[in-house]
Each structure stands twice: as structure tokens, then as C-alpha cells.
Structure 1
Amino acid sequence: MPQEPPTSTNSAASGPRCVHQLYEAHVRRAPDAVAVVHGRDRLTYRELDERANRLARHLREAGLPKGGLVAVCLGRDAEVLTAMLAVLKAGGAYVPVEPSAPPSLLRHVLADAGLFAAITRESLRVMVSDTVRSGRPVICLDTQAEAVARRSAEPLDARAGASDLACVLYTSGAAGRMPRGVLLEHRHLVSAYEGWRVVYRLSPEDRHLQTTPSEFAGFTGDWVRALCSGGALVSAGRDEDLDRAGDAAPLHRLIVDQSVTVLACDVPTARGLHRHLRSQGADLGDVRLIAVSGDSWYLDELQALRRTLGPHVRLLNVYGVTEAAGSGTYFELPDRPTVTDHPERVSPIGTAFPGAAVAVLGRGGAPAAWGARGELGIKGTVVGRGYLNGPAFTASRYLRTGDRGRVRDDGGLEHLGRVASHADAEAVLRGHPSVGECLVTSVENAEGHKTLTAYVTPVDGGEVDPSELRLFLATRLPSTRTPRTVVRVASLPRTRAGKLDRSALPQPARRDSKRRASGGKGTLSVDGGEGGNLWGAIAGIAALFSFLSLMLTDALWPYSTDLSLVPNPWAALFTGLYVCESLAFGLGMGFLFAGRPLVARHGRSPALTSAAHLAVVWLLIAWWPQDNYYRLAAKTDWARQAALVYAFNVTLMIAAAVVVAFVAARPGKTDRS
């Protein structure tokens, strides 16, 4: 069922029409309250507003039309907020551009947007001017500071309305595709804020940490939540960002020193902070709310962070999309979480924010039934106008997100990864105790062949054994969804938005087909594509036990194979039967010791898999002892005949029934949480 948007008690329709008017209400309410903290710099609401008013007048003097697009290419300091608010006050729409972004991305955004002007610094002028159309103004806040300062700081008359464009936010982009600009109107940002205000319980006393680059929807969400609620926005600088080693010590110091109360961050930041807190035995000071978004965050991680921080910190797993101003759904870990099977496989995203409706879509785009899996769709007052230079969004239809999900039995939504991802294999792999993070994708080699490959990072200070992981996966996944190759990596590559970057994964090392694919002495490979190791092990064990059975038959059952009184060709036929019985016994023993992965590949439940494995073994090994016992039993020895029938024939019937049940059972049930 779709998650319909709840009705807010303080709807946007009865309040300010534009998002910057929400902020201006707090300028009038508490002008001396701190609005922005960046390093040693502090700006009050009055100071920030006066700066924005002056820059807004400068933009109007430059001829900015209503709805005109202005690139803001400054970074993450206080000036970027001044510029964004100034563009809104002047009646335009801002396009955030991060100076540290790859040059190709910068050129794409600046050329794609059809800008009226750009706000930047002198050091970036050349880069910006090369892309902005000739004759368009480029305002450098450092070299033109005096000209801007001469403008009046008095409030401007309102030019924009609720349905006017407020900003163009670019998506993080999928592999092989450039980001797309999303057109967001003032009413969309106001609606998103109303949802955040209700769910996050925002107040003027809050101090919000801002860690997201300015180009992403998370940055706009941070300043809207902070400044529209009268709180303070604490900006993390480059020194506080997580480095490649995941050092969260500087960020932790900033959170504690600045008395941060609301922390909205991506998954890598949350994981890095948690590792730091555990290693140091520290806490997060005054933090009362942590909202994690940007990628799959799993239930076991929420529960572990709750154990570290205690019940006084609210934990939210947020699913948001740029097309909805970063809004979407949220799951809050309850004070007394219910017991869930395999919490390491579950990424709950809960219910929709006010202003949003989220559903799992079936065929034709209609909401699917509970329990069904499908693509997540979103609609509501938070969803933007459409894509820049692309299609408009239809208010009455769900916008497809490219993410998969399902509605759980409790009515909450669960995130199942991107549509083209292998989230089921990743979820199973996360359950191995030696695996920290993982990613499963199809990798194409130099010959053009694609192989399902798992990339894994070890838990802190640990090691991972690829051979062991292949066996672990093979016993829990159907063969078509089991990775054939496991690659150990120090860390998984991520995009600037903090999402896993499948396009930046290293190619697996080529393996010599003559070498054992297991990568370890005495281990078995289940990759199937290189084929011979598993079947070779079964064949080796089968040969050994077939030979032993032939040698031991006369010792265990004297004269049971005596054919001295049987004429040919019947004696030869019976000899062949005895050899087949020994071969079947050997094959059964080989299957007993090495054949479980072949059965487990079919994805049945663990209990049924074990039963079927043993049933196949018994169907193979029973003939050798059974026939030898029968041949030594007298026809009128009814007690012995009955014992043999029940010990062998009846159990063989049961084994055959188990195999039938195994074949008839639906696969994949063990992968569902």
C-alpha cells in the first residue's frame, strides 16, 4: 500500500509562500541569535540577512529576471548561504556548484543550466567564465566586495511566489550518466521543511551540523532545516570531513565543541563516527537526533549505534531523493525494537514524511500489494516541477525512483537497493562475521564475458577468506545469484554524494585456469565457471570409497558376491551390478563430504537443503550394504527380511519423497526477512 502524506498542523498554505520568508521570520524574531558557524566565523541572523539583502540588490541591479538561474560556486562557508539567500530574495533561483567537483562535472552543470549569472571568487573566475555564456555577469564576492557593500541592507520587496523556481539541484548521477538538474519551486522546499519540522521536532535551540557538499540536495536540506526553524547551522570544514581512512576524530571534536544537537549525515560518516566512538569509549555530547541517508543503512547498524549512544538519542534511517528536495521516508528505531530475523539484511525506511506519498510500484505503475517487491515511487507536494531540459513530473502519478523496495508485514517500507543491483547477495554477504562492507556487481572482463563479482572489506583489523565467502554464499543463494568471484578491497569507492560507486571498482585479477580457483591450499571453489574443483573433489572422494567398498565387501559379507555356481553371461552381469553398487556408494560418500554447495545453490530453506543433501546421499550409498545383506538372508528368515525392508526400502522411499519436496519447494525463501 502507498504511504500517503499526513496532513501537517501548520501547513505551508497558511504560512509563508517562499522558503526564504520562513528564514526572514526568525530574523525579525531573534535578530541577534547565531545563524551560521564556520570555523571561527559567526554570523547572527541580522548579519546574514543584511549581507544577503545587499547582494540581492546587486543582482537586481545586474538585471536578474524573475526566475533567472544563478550559479553559486563558493564551497561550504558562510558566503555560500549569503549567496543562496540573496538569489532567492532577488527573485531568482540558485544552482549550487561545488568548486572541488571534477572539471567535467563543473562544465556540465554550468553549461547545462542556461545561467543568467554566477557568484564565485576571483580565484575561480576563469573556470566559471569559460563555461558561462559570454556577456553574462560573473560576480566575485572578494574583488567586488566594496560594490556589494554599498547597496542598501534594507529588506527587499517580494518578487517570487510559491510556484516560482527556487533552485536547481543536480542528482548524484548514475554510472555512465551525467547528473540531471531537478527544478524545485518554493512550495516544494516549504513542504519539505514542514515534514522535517514535524518529524525532526525542530526548534530554535537546535544546532545543526552540515557535512554535505553544496552541490547536493542534502546541503539545501541542512540550511532549510536550520535557518527556517531559527536554529544555528554549524558547517564542517575540510579538516572535519572523513578522510579515506575514515578518521572521525576531527568531526567528533567539532560536534562536541559546538554543542551540535541535530546531525544529518551520509552512511559513511555515520559508520566512521560509530567506529570512533567505540574505539574511544566516547559519546556525542548534546546530540539528540541522528538522521542517516544517501545509501542503504541496515537495521543491525542502527541497533549497534543505539547500544553505543543510549536511548536518549533518536536514530532515523532516511530515504530521500533529489526529485523530492531530499524528502521521502524515514524509519525511527523504537526504544524497544522488535526482534527481526537477519537484521544485517534489512534496511528499513519506514513511513513517508508529511508532504510525500511513497509506494512500491507493480506493473503499470500502480501500487503493489503488501509483501510484493518492486520499484519505489514517490509523489506529493515535495516533488519538484521536473528535470531541467527534460520531462516534467506529473502530480497525479508516482515518480519512479530507480530504487527497489517492499512493504513489510508491519506496513513499513524496506529498501532493497537500486533496481539493477544485487541487493539480495549483498544482504546475505553482510551476514558473514568477517565482512565489513560489500558490493556485488556484474564485471565484464577483457574477453567481454560478465561475471558476478563480490567486493568485500574486512571488519576492523580482520581478514576475509574469498574461498570461505564463496562457500558461504553458495549455501545461501541460488546459483544464478551467487557471485563467482570474491575480491578483497581496503575500502569501497564512493561518489561525492557518499553513495557506492560501481563504476570505480577495480577489475578482478585474472586467474590462470590451470590453477585452483580457490586461492587457498586445501579449499574448494564453488565458482562453477571454472568448474572442476568441486566436482574434482567429489570424484576423488568417490574413487577412494568405491575402491574401499570393493575391497571390504567380502570381509564384511563373506560369500555375498560368490558367483562360482552362476553360469555366464549371468555371472558377468551380476559382477557389473556389484561394481555399480560400489561406485554408487563411493559417489554417495563424495556427495556427502563435498556436495552440499550444489544442493544449496537452489535456494531452499537450510532445513530442507540439509534433508535433501542427506536424502541424495542415502539414495546412493544404501544399495551396497542393502544388496549384500539381502543376498545373505534366508528366504524364510522373516524377522531379518522385515528388518531389511524397513531399514532400507522404506528409508529409500522417504529419501525419494524428500527429494520431491526439495524440487517442488519455492526457492529464495531464506533470503526474505
Structure 2
Amino acid sequence: MIQCILTTEGIKITASFDPRAIEQQQADKMLGQFSFIMQQLAIAAANDQTVIANIEILTADDTQLLWMWNREVPPAVERCVHDLFIEQARARPDAPAIHAWDGEMTYSELDELSSRLAGHLVDLGIKTEDIVPLCFEKSIWTVVAMLAVLKAGGAFTSLDPDHPRSRHEEILKQINARVVLTSAQCSALLVGPRRTIVAVSETAMHQLSNDTTLAHSVARPNHIAYVIFTSGSTGIPKGIVMEHEAVSTGCLSHGKMLAFGGHTRALQFSSYTFDVCIAEIITTLIYGGTVCVPSEVDRRDNLAQIIHGMDANWAFLTPSVARLLEPTVELSLETLVFGGEQINSTDWERWEGYVRRMNGYGPTECCICSSFSDPQEFVSGKIGKSIASVSWVVDPLDHNRLAPLGAIGELLVEGPILARGYLDNVEKTAAAFIRDPAWLMQGGGGQPGRRGRLYKTGDLVRYGIDGNLIFIGRKDSQVKVRGHRVELEEIEHHIRVCVPYARQVAAEVTFLEEEKSKAILAVFLEPDKETQAAFKPNTAVQTMVDNSLQAQIVFLDNIDARMADRVPSYMVPDVYFTVPDLPMTTSGKVDRKQLREIGASLSAQQLVELRTQSQGPKRQPSTEVEKTLQRLWARVLNLQPEAIGVDDSFFRLGGDSITAMKLAAEARKECFQLTVADVFEQPRLGNLARLSQNFESIIVEEIKAFSLLGPGVDVSQVRADVAAGCDLDASMIQDSYPCSTLQEGLLSLSLKRPGDYIMQGVLELSVDINEDAFRAAWEQVVRSSAVLRTRIVQHSELGLLQVITADGMRWVEADDLDAYLAEDKLGTSSLLGAPLARYALVKESLGKRRWFVWAMHHALYDGQTLPRIVDAVQKAYMGGELEKEVGFNTFIKYLGQQNQEAAVAYWRANLAKCIATPFPSLQSTAKHPISDAIVEYQCPPLAKVS
């Protein structure tokens, strides 16, 4: 509250405020601003010619502070991107450049292959300023293609294979594409007249000329490096043109601040159509790091595992995606940069102590981020201070007037990271990229003026007292939808095409009543009186959502499919309303606040009921798979299970790509096989359940102990028998069931030749490993894993049985590694009834070295099992929660349900004419060869293959 008292000396102003909401310095600034404006009004009153709108509102103190922060524009790096990469390739040729799911490359290999492809592009006529489209799924070859285009002198633009073909064709027409680089899988998407398709693969690369002598120096820093297409207000994608100089400056600047280097292993998570991929790929490579590229499937379904498996230590994620990860588990991450969406305190604080947290901000027109924030204390909306640029805040209605310090205004960015402009659109470029505003030319606060080019972001921000920027919102209809920048006018344009009988159309992003973080894309339609009936056949819900506006949710036949043919999936609306008249403001514009309030009045549960009511009464799940899916959907969509029927679509219930990723993760926790691709392929619950059954998804059921021994078996007697075979009390026996044929064979061979098929692993423990915590982690994993508590006994009637015991770990301690290994091998002759997994800690009696020795029989593990056990121990050691295990008894039950005769007949028929040639041929005296001899050979160094 501000109180003004007129005194003989002037006006006494008192401000009462909450210091938790407003800092003392900010309150002082506000009062100073208030006093200054009153003085300006007094001066204006004495001058009848002064227009109030023209009075000066920026104090001298504010001017001095703003110019102190922005006195110098950082210099441009006048280098080409590929030249910076080549420097790294020459400095560290054998260092890993790419670790991808489909291959790995060193810097020298990446340099050579990209140069080969660049030479081919030059032969195809690619020259400077030519734009070459790339269309790839996640792959090592996308990186090769990017560098090749740059080396050839051209610029690249990326197309998403999942986007509609009509969008592809519009972009290809805008860039006049003559040559397209693509993967073999995506090549059919881009075939067209007078268009050369080059499929990039390992085979194709080795068929190209190895003459890598290229004139790539024809590219200059002011030439185009890449073009990124974003949503356009006219319904046509808008191309943002970025030059080499801007990319080099931006990447070197934010790379330095984020401590990129040869140690960096950056997760390449972002879509190639999202400019963050430039930081993930280009910044990493020009700093000598490694780009970690997961497959599209792993990116969506196994994010946590792929981060760990690729040892990625740097990632840029939206807060929505970061919520899919558990901070206690993803310990390879060292730096996590949030961006693409506004972050809340919960998302920020849950990563405290696990990673270095950063919040990045930057429109696509600024490469890549124009500001960063890494506050110790979270401040909502804080986007930090400028990098490789300077930031100005101006009057939202007039960029020729600076806003007072602390006032909300439009953010302008000045500096060498700005885009050239919009592709072939002089008018839009001139409106967004302004030159030489009067206040910049004039200077201030003792600083000289300057000429400059600035980008009008359209974002509303304010300066904090410490120079940090605080994001407030947008001044126009551009919004963020599911992490993507979208112009609402583009959605409205395509809705008008799909619903031509609507008189007025308005699209808006709104938030549900109970889920402020859950944004939905709503479309409001005003029917024409003559065509209003066109809505009725497709409208089954007459429920009034808002009494004042008489809004109601409607259903339009095939609208989702028609929109999906025109726009990317993230631009397809979630819900459609009709209103008799769109609300208007006094200035004659659509009152978007009222539209947002319509959506905000609904809960997620109400919205689902209204959107799905046209289907009639819901059919409830009947099978176990359907019931499991219903429960999982309810969990990730925050709905009541009974609100979800078998005919419901995951996406009509409010799901999107992020919640689909969450669904796959939740399903995996319950050992249910489900991928994000499955959800997109069959979004209806009933269809998804049938698809899951076709894939033989396993819902882990509780198999009753001893039930797999067969009918009529005396369980008490068998339990006593196997307990005696294990030299344990019967109370220590938890379960018993048959062995698989493979287990029987492996054990039989080990009994014939003691020591065979037994792994003996040795791991030296580093000095920072806490021994007590290490022991506790292993003991936790053994308790949770039945396979590690399994023994095998010979039963007089039932044959070889595996026995699950309640026996804990038995640690062996020794002080001589070689002696223990030899002694442990001698003990492998008595396997029946004995523990098949053994654990030891060996510590030097005189030194400080420690080893963990883990021995286990092959009947208990395979190549897939060992890494999972090791991962589980690592999770337990770091305090993570272990996933629910699929018991081996599930597999034994599956084997028992198979038709053995049919399987034998199948293989006999298929192998009937096969002739096996043994290698090497055995002498007649060697019926059962034993590998008990060793020969060693020293291979001379190999000449490097050029």
C-alpha cells in the first residue's frame, strides 16, 4: 500500500510492503520512480504543449544502471562452424565424437566421412546459401549429414519424419530443395520431381570417393549455417535463418559458461527441428566432447536407462521430460539445463544436490540461448542474465521507449547471436529485427550511444534489482504448446479450412482448474446461424460449461485426423467448444482472458467426461491386460479408473507424447511390455490391450509357491527333501520348481568337468567406495532377487529342481587374491545343494587394495542378466529404489505351457536338409574336447587403414 501525505516541504510517500514478496531495494526504486513521474507531470502541467504519453518516465539512476549492465555488446566470433569442428578433429583425432545406438565415431572418422559426403554434395551442385533438407530418425548419420552440408558451403534444415507430408512439401517449396539427405527409412517421404534423394548410411559412405580435398572455405561467417522452421501466423511455416557467425558466437559462449570440454558427454535428446539440438551436437563437437545419440525407441521408452548406459553427463530437458527421471538414479548426469517451458520450484528443487542446475532462455531467433540462470534460491520466472548479447526492456506498445527498471516490458536482444531474419520475408524481418532506436543511438548514464540491431522477442519481462531478467508472459498470441513454440493464428487458419462452416474461430491455451501445470489447447467456434445445424449431428453433449457465455463442448467428425494431415501432432487441439458469440473486448478484439477462464473452470475429470460422453455408456475392461492398462492410464492422466473405458483414446483423455513416455515408464515398473510407439499406433485402450497380447506382454502374476511342481505332489514332503539337499531347515525354503533344459545341461557339464560354466569376476574397489554401503547394497539386491538365492538339488522322483531359499548372503573374507581365486575354484566340484552364487571381499594384509570377487554358475545368469544385477547394485548403493523383478518361475511356467512335440517337429522339418561342418575337424580320439591348453601369439602393430 502506498500512502501520500501533502506537507509544507512537499509530499511524504510511505510504502507498506511484504519483504518476502518485494525486496527493500525494489520498494525504494518504486518510490523513486513514483516521485520522478510526479515531478514530470508537474513540469508537463506548466507546459500546455506536452502530451502526457511523451513525458520521460526513466529516472537518471535507472538509466545509469541499465547502461552499466549493457554498455558493451560482446564481440562476434567471425568463424565458420565446420572450421571450429575441424580444429578439434586435428587436435584430438582418436577421441570419441559420437556414441550412438547405431555406431560410434572418433573425430578423425567423423571428419573424413563428412568430408566425403560434402564432396558428393559439391558434385551435385550444392553451393553457398543453398539449403539442404535433412530427414532422419535419431542416428549417427544425422551428425555426419549436418557437417557435410556445412563443409560443402550449404545450410541445412531438419524435417521431422513424423510431421505431415503437406508440411514437408511446404518447407521444401520454400527452400527450393534440389538435394535431400535422408536415411533409407525416410527416403520415401520426400520423393518429388526434380529432387535428388541421397540416402546416407555406412554402405553409401564407403561407396563415395575418398578424395576429401574440398574447397569448403568458400563458406564465409556471414553465410547461412542452418534454417529452423517454426509456426507461422498465416498457416505457413516460418523459416528462421541463422548464419555461421551467430552459431559460432552462441555455441562458444554458452559452451564456455556450461563448462563444455573433452569430458562432456551430451545427451542428444531434442528433436532435430528444435534448435536445442544445435547445442547438443555443434557445441559438444566444437569443444571436443562426445554426442550421445539414443534410438528413437530408447529416447521415448528407456530414457533413464539410456542416460546411464551411454554415461551421459550433460542434458537439456524440458521440465515435463525431466519429471520422468528419478534424481537418485540418474547419477551420470552432472549438468541438467532446463528450457522450453517455464520451470516451477518443485521441478527445480528435486534435483538439488544431484546435478548442476541451469535454466536456459532463448527464442529460436537467438542462437541458442540469450540468457541463463543458475540461482541458489529458486525465483519463479527467473531467466537470468544475458550471454553473448545484451538485453533491453522497452514499452510493450512502443519499442522506442525504454521501460523503467522493474517495470514489465517487451524484451529486446542485441548482439551477434541474432538470426539474419525470416526466409524470403522482408516484411516480417523488418518488424521483428529493428535497427538504431533513438535511445540506443543517444546513449545514457555516461555511456556513448551506438548503432545496433535488436530482436523484438514478444516476451514480457522485467529487470530484477540485481540485473536478472524475470519472465512474465507474452504480448501476442504466440504460445508454448507441449514444449513447442506455436502461433495460435496458424492453428486457427487450419481449423477454418477443416471447419469452413464456423463463422469465427479462436484458439487458446488454458490450464485446468486443478492442474495448473497441465496446459490444454482449446478451440472456440462461433457457428453461423445458417450453418449452426452442421454442428448438431456431431454434437452429443449439451452440457453448459459456462453459463454467461453458453459454451459447450462439441464433437466434430474426423477433426483430429484432418488436422493431423495438416499440422504436427502437438498442434492438434485437445478440445472444441462452441459459443453463440465469441467474447470481445471494448477495443473490438477477442477477449482471450474469458476464453481461458472457460477451460480453467473445468477439472481434468469433468473434461474427460464431457469429451467422451458422445460414445455413450463406457464399456469397462474385462481382461487382465485391459484392467492393468486402465489402472496405468488413470495413474499418469490423474483420472479415476472408472472414467476410462475400453473404447477411450489415450489422447482424447488428455494424453500427449510426454504422458505416453510416463505411461511406458510406469508399465515397465510393473514388468508390462509397452512402448510409446504402441500408444501412438493404437491409442484406444481395447486395441492397445490386444496389441500388447499380440506382443506377448507379460503381466507378472503371483505364482503360488511350489505350484509349478505339478498336480498331486506332496508339497510338504518335497519341501523337506530339498531342504535336506541344501542342508537347511525346511522353514528356509521359499519355493521350488523344475529346471529348464538348458539349466540341466549346464549343470551336468559342470558336474562332469568341475569349474566349467562358472563365472569368477574380480572387481577392484576404488578408495572412495564405502565398504559397509557396498555390502549393504549387495545384500539388498540378493534379498530382492530370487535368482541370487537359487540352488539346485537332485530329487529322487522329480529330477533336478531349483530351490529358492531365504538364506542371506555369505561373505567370505581373504587377504590374498590369487590364493582365494584358486581355493574358490577347488570348491566348484560340489554344486548340488550348494549356493550357486558366492561373494568375497579380499583385502591386502599390508596394502590398501581391495577386491570384490563374485562367482556364479551359468545356470543362473546370461549376458542380459549380469548387467541388470550390476545396475541394481549401483542403484542400491546410491539409495535408489529397486524395480520389481520378474521371477524365473514365470519363464518356467511359460515353458510348461508350450507344445514340445510341435516345437520338435518344427525344428526337425527346418533342419532336415542342413549339413553341419565341424570346425576344426575332430580326431577320432577327441569325442569330448576339453580346452585345457593355451597358446599365445603377439600380433605386430597394424598399419592404419586410410
Aligned partner of 2:381 among 347, 350, 368: 347
- Superposed counterparts of 1:99-110, under 5 Å: 99-110=161-172
Letter in 2 for 1:105: R
Give SS of 1:54's match: helix
Deviations 1:288-321 (A, max 9, x none): 2111111222244212332xxx1x5211111111
Please tell me whether the aligned partners of residues 57 and 151 of structure 1 are also in contact (alpha carbons under 8 angstroms): no
Paired residue for 1:218?
Answer: 276
Cα distance in structure 1, aligned partners of 2:269 and 2:117: 25
Q: Is the 8 A contact 2:522 2:575 kept in 1?
A: no
Q: State the Cα deviation string for residues 251-302 of structure 1 (Å, max 9, x = none).
A: 11111122211111223212222xxx17xxx332221211111122224421
Partner residue, 1:66: 128
- Cα 1:528–1:218 change in 2 (3 A) is closer
1:258-273 correspondence to structure 2 within 5 Å? 258-273=310-325
Residues 219 and 31 of structure 1, relative CA distance in 2, 3 Å threshold:
same
Instruction: Give matches, 1:180-219, under 5 Å.
Output: 180-219=238-277
Aligned partner of 1:270: which letter?
A: A
State TM-score, norm by structure 2: 0.43
| Alignment partner of 1:505 out of 574, 577, 586 | 574
CA distance in 1, matches of 2:525, 2:125: 55
Give yes or no for the alignment of 1:407 onto 2:460.
Answer: no
Q: Deviations over 1:65-113 (max 9, x none)?
A: 2222211122321111111101111111112222222222211211111
**Cα separation, 1, equivalents of 2:174 and 2:404:** 40
- Which residue type is aligned with residue 435 of structure 1? E
Greater RCO (Cα-Cα under 8 Å, separation 6 or more): 1
- CA shift, 1:417, in A, is 2.8
Aligned length: 446
Residues 1:484 and 1:138: Cα distance change in structure 2 (over 3 Å): closer
- The secondary structure found in structure 1 opposite 2:298 is coil
Task: Please say if residues 356 and 381 of structure 1, whose CA atoms lie closer than 8 Å, have aligned partners that are also in contact.
Answer: no
1:383 corresponding residue in structure 2: 418
Residue in 2 that maps onto 1:152: 211
Picking from 299, 310, 323, the partner of 1:241 is: 299
Q: Is the 8 A contact 1:484 1:528 kept in 2?
A: no
CA shift, 1:359, in A, is 3.3
Quick check: 1:297 aligned with 2:343?
Answer: yes
CA distance in 1, matches of 2:168, 2:356: 37
Q: Write the distance in 2 (CA, Å) between the matches of 1:225 and 1:42.
A: 18
C-alpha distance in structure 1 between counterparts of 2:299 and 2:247, whole Å? 27
In 1: Cα distance, 2:310 partner to 2:368 partner: 25
Determine which of 95, 100, 107 is the counterpart of 1:38. Answer: 100
Shift of 1:416: 2.2
Residues 361 and 283 of structure 1, relative CA distance in 2, 3 Å threshold: farther
Q: Deviations over 1:504-547 (max 9, x none)?
A: 12135999xxxxxxxxxxxxxxx999xxxxxxxxxxxxxxxxxx
Pair 1:7–1:286, CA change in 2 (3 A):
farther
> In structure 1, what is the equivalent of residue 196 of structure 2?
137
- Which residues of structure 1 form unaligned runs of 5+? 341-345, 424-428, 450-466, 471-479, 488-494, 512-526, 530-673
Measured in 1, the distance between the counterparts of 2:184 and 2:407 equals: 55
Q: Which residue of 2 aligns with 1:368?
A: 403
Give CA-to-partner distance per residue, 1:619-664, whole Å, 9 cap, x none. Answer: xxxxxxxxxxxxxxxxxxxxxxxxxxxxxxxxxxxxxxxxxxxxxx
Change (3 A) 1:21 1:368: same
Give the aligned partner of residue 519 of structure 2.
439
- How far apart are residue 446 of structure 1 and its match? 4.9
Post-superposition offset of 1:326: 2.5
Give the RMSD, CA atoms, in angstroms.
Answer: 4.1
Residue 162 of structure 1 corresponds to 221
How far apart are the structure 1 equivalents of 2:260 and 2:597? 55
2: distance between equivalents of 1:19 and 1:25?
10
What is residue 417 of structure 1 aligned with on the other side?
473
Q: Structure 2 vs 1, CA of residues 148 and 164 (structure 1 numbering), >3 Å: closer, same or farther?
A: farther
Q: Which amino acid aligns with 1:265?
A: L
Query: 1-side partners of 2:527 and 2:142: how far apart?
Result: 49
Aligned twin of 1:313 = 355
Deviation at 1:138, TM superposition (A): 2.6
Counterpart position of 2:369? 327
Contact in 2 for aligned 1:129/1:138 (Cα 8 Å): yes
Out of 95, 98, 119, the residue aligned to residue 181 of structure 2 is 119
1:85 matched residue in structure 2: 147
Report if the CA contact (8 A) 1:167-1:183 is conserved: yes
Paired residues of 2:252 and 2:283 also in contact (CA < 8 A): no
AA partner of residue 43 (structure 1): M
Does the aligned pair in 2 maintain the 1:175–1:502 contact within 8 Å? no
Whole-angstrom distance in 1 between the partners of 2:405 and 2:179: 49
Q: Percent of pairs identical after alignment?
A: 23
Q: Distance in 1 between matches of 2:312 and 2:202?
A: 34
Partner of 2:654: none
Taking the aligned partners of 1:379 and 1:483, their CA distance within structure 2 comes to 47
Residues 192, 355 of structure 1: 8 Å contact kept: no
Instruction: Go from structure 1 to structure 2 and tell me whether the alpha carbon gap of 1:143 and 1:441 turns closer, same or farther (over 3 Å shift).
Output: closer
Distance in 1 (alpha carbons) for counterparts of 2:466 and 2:569: 29
Distance 1:361 1:329, change over 3 A: farther
Structure 2 unaligned segments of length 5 or more: list them. 1-65, 436-451, 480-509, 530-543, 555-563, 581-595, 599-946
Q: Report the counterpart of residue 393 of structure 2 in structure 1.
A: 359
Give distance in 2, aligned partners of 1:443 and 1:504: 7
Following the alignment from structure 1 to structure 2, what is the Cα–Cα distance between the partners of residues 422 and 401?
10
Structure 1 length-normalised TM: 0.59
Q: Deviations over 1:575-607 (max 9, x none)?
A: xxxxxxxxxxxxxxxxxxxxxxxxxxxxxxxxx
TM-superposed deviation, 1:12: 5.2
Return the alpha-carbon distance in structure 2 between the equivalents of residues 486 and 299 of structure 1: 34
Q: 1:358 to 1:30 in 2, by over 3 A?
A: farther
- Give the conservation status (yes or no) of the 8 Å contact 1:421–1:440: no
Counterparts of 2:153 and 2:359, CA distance in 1: 35
CA distance in 1 between counterparts of 2:111 and 2:597 reads 65
2:138–2:296: 8 Å Cα contact kept in structure 1?
A: no
Distance 1:156 1:237, change over 3 A: same
Q: SS where residue 461 of structure 2 aligns?
A: strand
Q: Which amino acid aligns with 1:269?
A: V
Q: How does 1:445-460 map to 2 (within 5 A)?
A: 445-447=525-527
2:757 — aligned with what? none
Secondary structure (helix, strand or coil) at the match of 2:218 reads coil
